[in-house]
Structure 1
């Protein structure tokens, strides 16, 4: 039997069936339905009472929260007023002002009594001006130190993104008249005029092989004289030993002026590398050619976007200089 059947005793149902065999079952169903509706009504009334109770409690909590918020606002206002009052300049001492005015009045002995007061007031004003000047100099010094620290923080980041590496085409090649190991090249870097580059490639380098070839150059080095000839860029070479040197080759399809970048080190290069920062000297040990012949910095390849990677023509596992 279900729960509704438990509401009525079996003898009641039997008695109804005996009294009215035709409608006894319908009457019994009516009683069961009425009992179920009565129970649901009672449950609904109980839930309404609980809901009203919760509404009252919520209203009380809301009122308490508003009171706490008002108290916090009052405390904040008092703190602000106290801070402003503590920062305000102290009022002038009335007694000192009256004494100063008394000193400024002519004494019976004559005007000589007013002279010390005038000298003391002028000395105090001079001391005040000196203190103010020292304070301003301190502020300027602090601002200068802050700007210097910011610039030092910006310069402390040293990675390959600071190198302005570009593809260039060697237009002409000749040996340096004062040094057989040095070679002078005129290189097209996609600018208005070619740059003169002095490189130390060794006496065994064949000049005919260099002319007309593409190379990778460091373009933001400071121009410097090398045996009387000003060099305006640095030619990047792969070096297996002092005698074995070959140019780092850009990817096929590169043209003069193409930038060489590093995917893991984005950013714009320095306008000019400062010699005192030794950026190139610090980065050069991490510029290498891997086992596949690809040039990289800390595992990140030299890349000309959209055209490919820079490689050593024949060397592997060697340094770049």
Structure 2
């Protein structure tokens, strides 16, 4: 590690001492100490960055190990099922010499010497009425490992509400046009609260779930979902991205570094299963199982005023 003399120019130190013989040495020591502190601060910042990088890589490794373990278990189950369900080996056929007994009685009169007749062709037996159909074996089933269900499968982005209006066919709903950094805005349909101020919401930033399947609500197509927090049915507010966020910024989670699904499948119910673990903590920070909603390099997503409540 460099010392103070290496970080401070000796010629500059001599010049300071000549200019001020009384206080020159103290000034030189001050500058040396300042240089050392600056160097230590830079090293500390680099160490913090390396630690964050290691945490992300550790999360990826854990996920890879879990996937490999599931694949190994599936292979073991298939191998065991194959061994249990494989048919027994057929009995060995007797040699031609053993077919004719030693004390065989003479053939009756009129018997031909052409040999035994061929046995009649056996047809496969049909399933009788009332019998159950045979269950498929494990080998016939697809045993591919299902992707794990965690918050990394959600495509969460920062969006700006550019327009808001009442739903033309539903008085209790509102329609928002939201910029999420794409070539066109996305349409969002939300339940309209009694105290909703359209002028206040227009132009504000929010957090959107962008990989839901498009659906129509009273004739209007919804292409995303605004995330809000609610302490009761009467009090709710939109999650707020950190200062400096722009439309299109991804919301990520340090402990869950996976890539989001292209589109959430309704039959898998990913959003419904994850929603129970989406909370706002006592500091007002939005999190999933204690891991905060984060826009990298800009900060954390929060609730404007509510704490200890659910996210929907």
| Residues 96-175 of structure 1: pairs in structure 2 closer than 5 A | 117-120=117-120, 122-123=121-122, 141-145=137-141, 147-148=142-143, 150-151=144-145, 154-155=146-147, 157-175=148-166
Pick the aligned partner of 1:238 from 229, 235, 238. 229
User: What corresponds to 2:95 in structure 1?
Assistant: 94
Matched, 1:203 2:199: no
Alpha-carbon spacing, 1:88–1:318, altered in 2? closer, same or farther (3 Å): closer
Matched, 1:228 2:219: yes
Give the Cα–Cα distance (whole angstroms) in 2 for the partners of residues 188 and 209 of structure 1: 16
User: What corresponds to 2:275 in structure 1?
Assistant: 284
User: Quick check: 1:180–1:203 contact (8 Å CA) kept in 2?
Assistant: no
User: What corresponds to 1:178 in structure 2?
Assistant: 169
Shift of residue 92 of structure 1?
5.1
Shift of residue 256 of structure 1?
1.9
Shift of residue 228 of structure 1?
2.1
Alpha-carbon spacing, 1:209–1:98, altered in 2? closer, same or farther (3 Å): same
Give the Cα–Cα distance (whole angstroms) in 1 for the partners of residues 170 and 224 of structure 2: 18
**Which secondary structure state, in structure 2, belongs to the residue aligned with residue 281 of structure 1?**
helix
Alpha-carbon spacing, 1:199–1:112, altered in 2? closer, same or farther (3 Å): farther
Structure whose alpha-carbon radius of gyration is higher: 1
User: Quick check: 1:204–1:243 contact (8 Å CA) kept in 2?
Assistant: no
Matched, 1:319 2:306: no
User: Quick check: 1:236–1:320 contact (8 Å CA) kept in 2?
Assistant: yes
Pick the aligned partner of 1:266 from 257, 265, 284. 257
When structure 1 is superposed on structure 2, of 270-279 and 247-256 the one drifting more is: 270-279
User: What corresponds to 2:33 in structure 1?
Assistant: none
Give the Cα–Cα distance (whole angstroms) in 2 for the partners of residues 96 and 301 of structure 1: 83
User: Quick check: 1:161–1:269 contact (8 Å CA) kept in 2?
Assistant: yes
Alpha-carbon spacing, 1:143–1:258, altered in 2? closer, same or farther (3 Å): farther
Larger RCO, structures 1/2 (Cα 8 Å, 6+ apart): 2
**Which secondary structure state, in structure 2, belongs to the residue aligned with residue 260 of structure 1?**
coil
Give the Cα–Cα distance (whole angstroms) in 1 for the partners of residues 227 and 140 of structure 2: 39
Shift of residue 302 of structure 1?
0.3
User: Quick check: 1:288–1:296 contact (8 Å CA) kept in 2?
Assistant: yes
RMSD over aligned Cα atoms: 3.5
Alpha-carbon spacing, 1:243–1:180, altered in 2? closer, same or farther (3 Å): farther
Shift of residue 89 of structure 1?
8.8
Structure with the higher helix share, 1 or 2: 1
Structure 1: runs of 5+ lacking an equivalent:
1-86, 100-106, 131-137
Give the Cα–Cα distance (whole angstroms) in 2 for the partners of residues 250 and 111 of structure 1: 98
Structure 2: runs of 5+ lacking an equivalent:
1-87, 101-107, 127-133
**Which secondary structure state, in structure 1, belongs to the residue aligned with residue 232 of structure 2?**
coil
Alpha-carbon spacing, 1:281–1:109, altered in 2? closer, same or farther (3 Å): same
Give the Cα–Cα distance (whole angstroms) in 2 for the partners of residues 272 and 174 of structure 1: 27
State TM-score, norm by structure 2: 0.58
State TM-score, norm by structure 1: 0.56
